[in-house]
């Protein structure tokens, strides 16, 4: 379940953690924006801005939408604003069935001040919602909230308004809440109830009905569902939208981005370590190959390309050469098969002569082995014999048609 942090911007900041529908999950907290910053790093933030700073209107505009709508809105509200329209930022809401479009106007410098104060502690709100638009909507009654010297009123089908609540009876009259046909749902904070209990009770005499409900935790739990309601009008539009939305998205994803960057750095480090190990192994193998090549090619003074030079040497003893190494070895294998007894100990290949060391029971067997090689067109010469325990170690040179 996704969670949101709903913040009320006021002289005394308050905030609450809610679910996606605005239902409170934790208690209401108060403090400074710096106190809020750690929580804001974990949850998307929706801020409720003071009702007295926002002018709401519902003009009937000549166009339905698009860029032209944004152009005509300032002039449609020009007469209702205290100042030049250039000083105001306009947020455009939904258009109702009668063709009227909800518009909120706020001074640009005040909106920037809110965003700058939030940004100073690393908070980028997802939305800024006017306080009056967060009031509950009751189709059968007028909803009124007494909060800190203000009276917020939302009548069915009308634009919410905010009035000075002192004196409260006069504010009720100005809001059009007096009369037998007026049915009011009144919410009062605990502090206001303690301060104005008798005056609030007296309001029952001027309305058709008045249902009273106390708010011991203040108005924030009451306003939070309206602030998180889908389609709630946010002041973060046009040039302020890009600022708020970019920062909000970055806050949501910066932890994941940091983890991804750390994983990438770890991956690069592991690959670099493996590369260093492979380079060391390559150098070790190169040294071993060079050493083996020098043993295999003792007559070669300079090893330039081991593979090519070994290939050339092996090509000289290939099967395409009838007097090369491989035919010579095939002949030795045939001779050993035809003369049982001698056992091959070592062999060497040098200057196209195959040097063999064999162990046999006696010199007669060595002679028969040499004859078997001669029968295959080779010349075999027993160059030396060395007596051993119960055997003879003989050295035989095997050459081609010429003398060994």
**For position 201, which CATH number holds?**
3.30.420.380
Distance CA 133, CA 70 (A): 21
Examine residue 274 and state whether it is found in any structural domain, yes or no.
no
pLDDT at residue 76, as a whole number: 73
DSSP assigned state of 65: S
Examine residue 73 and state whether it is found in any structural domain, yes or no.
yes
Asked if residue 143 and residue 36 are part of one domain, the reply reads yes
Distance CA 168, CA 171 (A): 5
* pLDDT tens digits along 270-328: 888 888 988 888 888 777 777 666 666 666 777 777 667 766 666 554 444 556 777 88
CATH number at residue 356: 3.30.1360.100
- State the average pLDDT over residues 196-211: 90
- State the average pLDDT over residues 174-199: 90
Q: At what angle do helices 306-316 and 239-296 cross, to 10 degrees?
A: 40
The residue from 216, 237, 258 where one domain ends is 237
* pLDDT tens digits along 118-140: 999 999 999 999 999 999 988 88
Does residue 353 carry a pLDDT above 60? yes
Which structure tokens are listed for 141?
């009654």
Distance CA 124, CA 108 (A): 17
Examine residue 89 and state whether it is found in any structural domain, yes or no.
yes
Per-residue pLDDT band for 215 (boundaries 50, 70, 90) equals: very high
Residues near 336 by beta carbon (within 8 Å), at least 6 away in sequence: 342, 344, 369
> Sign of dihedral through CA atoms 8, 13, 19, 22?
negative
Burial class (CB in 10 A: 0-12, 13-18, 19+), 81: middle
Distance CA 402, CA 271 (A): 60
Asked if residue 348 and residue 228 are part of one domain, the reply reads no
The residue from 214, 237, 260 where one domain ends is 237
Distance CA 229, CA 207 (A): 30
Examine residue 275 and state whether it is found in any structural domain, yes or no.
no
Asked if residue 329 and residue 233 are part of one domain, the reply reads no
Return the C-alpha torsion angle 27, 31, 32, 37, nearest 10: -30
Domain that residue 373 falls in: 317-399
Asked if residue 333 and residue 226 are part of one domain, the reply reads no
Residues near 232 by beta carbon (within 8 Å), at least 6 away in sequence: 127, 129, 133, 134, 226
Asked if residue 165 and residue 58 are part of one domain, the reply reads yes
Does residue 110 carry a pLDDT above 90? yes
Asked if residue 8 and residue 149 are part of one domain, the reply reads yes
Give the mean pLDDT of the chain: 84
Asked if residue 51 and residue 182 are part of one domain, the reply reads yes
Examine residue 290 and state whether it is found in any structural domain, yes or no.
no
* pLDDT tens digits along 74-105: 767 777 777 788 888 888 888 887 778 888 88
Asked if residue 229 and residue 338 are part of one domain, the reply reads no
Examine residue 267 and state whether it is found in any structural domain, yes or no.
no
Beta bridge partner(s), residue 207: 179
Beta-strand relationship, 142-147 and 88-95: unpaired
- CA distances from residue 7 to 17, 57, 328 in whole angstroms, order as listed: 9, 24, 95
Which structure tokens are listed for 298?
């003792």
pTM over 0.85: no
| 3-state DSSP assignment of residue 298 | coil
Asked if residue 160 and residue 33 are part of one domain, the reply reads yes
Does residue 254 carry a pLDDT above 80? no
Per-residue pLDDT band for 211 (boundaries 50, 70, 90) equals: very high
Distance CA 157, CA 311 (A): 96
Examine residue 258 and state whether it is found in any structural domain, yes or no.
no
Does residue 390 carry a pLDDT above 50? yes
Distance CA 14, CA 45 (A): 13
CB neighbours of residue 325 within 10 Å: 18
Cα-Cα end-to-end distance for the chain: 92
Beta-strand relationship, 29-31 and 13-19: antiparallel
Examine residue 303 and state whether it is found in any structural domain, yes or no.
no
Asked if residue 222 and residue 106 are part of one domain, the reply reads yes
Asked if residue 220 and residue 83 are part of one domain, the reply reads yes
Per-residue pLDDT band for 184 (boundaries 50, 70, 90) equals: very high
Distance CA 1, CA 21 (A): 10
Number of structural domains (the chain) is 2
| 3-state DSSP assignment of residue 187 | strand
Query: Which strands make up the sheet holding 88-95, listed edge to edge?
Result: 54-57, 101-107, 88-95
Which structure tokens are listed for 301?
């003074």
The residue from 208, 237, 266 where one domain ends is 237
């Amino acid at each position: 379940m996704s969670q949101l942090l709903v913040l009320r911007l006021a002289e005394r900041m308050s905030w609450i953690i809610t679910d996606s529908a605005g239902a409170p999950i934790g208690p209401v907290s108060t403090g400074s924006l710096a106190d809020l910053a750690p929580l804001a790093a974990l949850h998307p933030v929706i801020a409720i801005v003071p009702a007295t700073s926002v002018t709401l209107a519902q003009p009937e505009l000549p166009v339905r939408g698009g860029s032209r709508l944004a152009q005509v809105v300032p002039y449609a509200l020009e007469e209702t604003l205290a100042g030049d329209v250039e000083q105001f930022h306009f947020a455009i809401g939904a258009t109702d069935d009668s063709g009227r479009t909800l518009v909120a106007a706020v001074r640009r410098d005040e909106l920037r001040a809110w965003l700058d104060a939030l940004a100073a502690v690393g908070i980028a709100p997802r939305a800024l919602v006017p306080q009056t638009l967060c009031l509950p909507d009751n189709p059968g009654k007028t909803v009124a909230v007494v909060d800190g010297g203000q009276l917020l009123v939302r009548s069915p089908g009308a634009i919410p308004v905010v009035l000075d609540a002192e004196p409260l009876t006069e504010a009720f009259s100005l809001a059009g809440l007096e009369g037998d046909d007026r049915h009011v749902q009144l919410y009062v904070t605990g502090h206001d109830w303690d301060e104005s209990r008798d005056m609030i009770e007296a309001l029952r005499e001027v309305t058709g009905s008045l249902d009273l409900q106390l708010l011991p935790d203040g108005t924030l739990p009451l306003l939070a569902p309206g602030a998180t309601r889908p389609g709630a009008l946010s002041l973060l539009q046009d040039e302020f939208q890009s600022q708020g939305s970019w920062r909000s998205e970055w806050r949501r994803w910066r932890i994941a981005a940091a983890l991804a960057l750390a994983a990438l750095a770890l991956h690069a480090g592991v690959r670099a370590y493996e590369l260093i190990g492979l380079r060391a192994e390559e150098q070790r193998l190169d040294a071993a190959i060079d050493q083996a090549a020098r043993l295999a090619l003792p007559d070669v003074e300079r090893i330039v390309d081991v593979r090519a030079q070994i290939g050339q040497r092996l090509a000289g003893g290939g099967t395409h050469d009838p007097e090369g190494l491989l035919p010579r070895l095939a002949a030795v294998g045939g001779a050993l098969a035809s003369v049982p007894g001698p056992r091959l100990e070592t062999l060497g290949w040098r200057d196209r002569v195959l040097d063999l060391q064999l162990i046999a029971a006696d010199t007669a067997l060595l002679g028969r082995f040499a004859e078997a090689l001669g029968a295959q067109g080779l010349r075999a010469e027993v160059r030396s014999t060395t007596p051993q325990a119960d055997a003879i170690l003989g050295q035989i040179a095997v050459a081609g048609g010429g003398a060994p």
